[in-house]
Amino acid sequence: MEDLKTRLRSKPLRIGISTRALFDLEEEHGVFRSQGVHAYANMQRERETVVVCKGAGFEVIERLLKLNEAGEKPYVEVVLLSKNSPDLSLRAFLSIEHYGLTVITGSFTSGGSLAPFIPAWEIDLFLSNDRSDVQAAVSAGAAAAHLGPVSQNWEHVPADEVRIAFDGDAVVFSAESDEIYKASGLEAFRRHEQENATKPMEGGPLGEFLKKLSILRQIYMNDEGVSKVRIGIVTARDRHAHARVVHTLRAWGTPADEAHFVGTWPKGPILKAFGAHIFFDDQEKHVLSAAGVVPAGHVPGPHAPDAPVIPAG
């Protein structure tokens, strides 16, 4: 266990998050879109001493940071990445201090692209409400997801744990199997997955993030086999193609606490039952469905938003 702690402290899980993903700045963003940057800047200065409400990414960030041990090097570090000017950084850090978040670093680019700063900060996952920034980060080789506004219907239970849910193909796993389905159909996909059931899949956009998160999960595993970091896989695969998921996670050394093979069943009710604090999927229709019950991030992938991917028969 000490080896795992030393390993993660030497290279902590680093998450970059935009101000609009961490905080609810939709009203201010609306002013920016309708009236321009000067009206937006004036509004932010007028509200400089007003704490911002929590945004879609706040809950998972707060819970991850609470896993750090006082007086020790952190397991998790969060970097604030913003297109705001340095002049407008005051309100963001004021709000961070108000909520007691241990976020102490950030970059403010005055409208410049955030993409070059993702590798500069050695970010493992970038969360933003700006699609162009997410796509730029992905193009630069980083793991990234686009978050929408936080749902007013989301109900979270206070606890000292964090629950993170992932889709499988084209998110934590590569898109290889999806491509077989697209090219040759459902039966060819099933046949391929059954023939390769014990062959581990390659990693997808969030594969490395999952592996690092799994180290944190192991650090917080108690004697009963229950961790404060709970990982769930929620995938449209069903029993005809589920085995390869299990064998891949086993080979990676990243066992999931829960796996839900939902077929054509909607993912939202499953995610609500799991109690996820955030969910990642590469299909916008699943993200939109999930967003009513949990903060959800769209991971840019190879599929059209409305294209069916590995449906159940």
Active site residues: 167
C-alpha distances in Å from residue 58, one per residue of 131, 170, 236, 292, 295 = 18, 25, 27, 16, 9
Give 106's strand partners: 80
The answer to whether the beta carbons of residues 192 and 177 sit under 8 Å apart is yes
The answer to whether the beta carbons of residues 61 and 68 sit under 8 Å apart is no
**Nearest 10 degrees: CA dihedral of 101, 232, 205, 61?**
0
- The span from the CA of 154 to the CA of 190, in Å, is 35
Give 125's strand partners: 15
One DSSP character per residue, 62-122 reads: HHHHTTSPTTS--SEEEEEEESS-GGGHHHHHHHHHHHT----EEEE-TT--STTHHHHTT
Give 128's strand partners: 146
Among residues 244, 250, 212, which one has the least CA distance to residue 229? 212
Angle CA 217–11–146, to nearest 5: 70
Ordered strands of the 13-17 beta sheet: 105-108, 76-82, 13-17, 125-128, 144-147, 296-298, 278-281, 162-166, 229-235, 258-261
In this structure, which amino acid lies at residue 2?
A: E
